[in-house]
Copies of this chain bind each other. A is one copy, B any other.
């Protein structure tokens, strides 16, 4: 409330809206869900089975947020009873590329991270 409407943004501060978006889109279940949806369309319970450990509530929350942010599309078919399909959007695909980069980074960095952790934990 102290910096609303500033003419030029302080480059040293990451925009709260950007942080919020990253948080909404890179959280625990979103990563897994997007990973599942990257190359196929899945229904709610298929997705639930594909993502081990996710509860119905968390999956619903995650999908609603991803849908609201334009990362996935929710398609309801008026069959019997009803089928709900989730698919990734073009915007979601650009995010998927980034997630891939993140996971590649963790893979490459993990040995060095493990070393750093071992050193940190052994000292003091």
Closest approach, in angstroms, between the C-beta of A33 and any C-beta of chain B? Answer: 11
Closest approach, in angstroms, between the C-beta of A50 and any C-beta of chain B? Answer: 6
Report the copy number of this chain in the oligomer: 2
Contact A113 B70 (CB under 8 A): yes
Size band of the interface chain A makes with B: 35 or more
Interface pick from A55-63, A79-87, A114-122: A114-122
* A94: B residues at CB distance < 8 A: 105, 108-109
Please indicate which of the listed interface residues A32, A101, A106, A108 has the most CB atoms of chain B within 10 Å of its own CB: A106
Contact of A13 among B52, B91, B101 (CB under 8 A): B52
Contact B117 A68 (CB under 8 A): yes
Asked whether A23 is an interface residue with its Cβ less than 8 Å from the other chain, the reply is: yes
Contact A117 B18 (CB under 8 A): no
Given A22-B26, A22-B102, A70-B116, 13 new contacts (CB under 8 A)? A13-B52, A18-B103, A21-B106, A21-B110, A22-B31, A26-B26, A69-B117, A70-B112, A70-B117, A91-B112, A95-B105, A98-B102, A98-B105
